[in-house]
Structure formats: C-alpha cells, structure tokens
Structure 1
Amino acid sequence: MSEQTIKHMRDRIQRCRRLAKSTTDERTATALRQMADEIEADVKQLESRGGFHTT
C-alpha cells in the first residue's frame, strides 16, 4: 500500500464528511458519516501495519 493510496483514502474521508454536512437528507448524511468512519478505521489499520503516516 503506497502513501499515495493512503492520502487518497484520507481525501475520501474529508469528502464524505463535507458532503454529510451539506446534505439535508439525514439518511444520506448518516451513510456518509459511516463511510468516513469505516475508511478512517481502514487507514489506521493500514498505517499500523505498514508504518504509513501522511497526516
């Protein structure tokens, strides 16, 4: 897993959270927040395995 991939995943987290804040549909916002949380958990797991840190 490359640092570029981790950065892309972090960008997706930010995008999901931004969209969740901007939508008026609560079901959509909840789904987007959940996606962001899941991706963030994946990033943390990958970083702990491979030592990738791009913050």
Structure 2
Amino acid sequence: SFTMVVAIISVHFENGLFMANNGYEFGLALLAASVSLAFSGAGKAALDNFLNKKFS
C-alpha cells in the first residue's frame, strides 16, 4: 500500500486522474484492492487455505 501511495504522489499525480495521460487511476485501483485484501483477507481464494486442505 505504501508503495502505491508513493508512486501516485511522486510520479502520477501531476498527470491527472485518467490513465490516458499516465495518471493515477490505475495506481488508485491497485491501492484500493490491496487495502481491501489487507483488511478482509483473501478467504476461500487464499493460497494458504488451498494448501491447508491439500496437505491435511
């Protein structure tokens, strides 16, 4: 998450929001996805969930 915030501020912010101008739209989407996974967890899609079922 921290890496995406730094990338948005240092590289993409001055180009505006939209990706057509190399803006921060995609970085913001990646930031939202990583924060969402950090708070809620991957659940059934998690790799450790799959490995626990396979080797148990």
Fold conserved (TM > 0.5)? no
Normalized against structure 2, the TM-score is what? 0.41
Higher relative contact order (CA 8 A, sep 6+): 1
Higher-Rg structure is 2
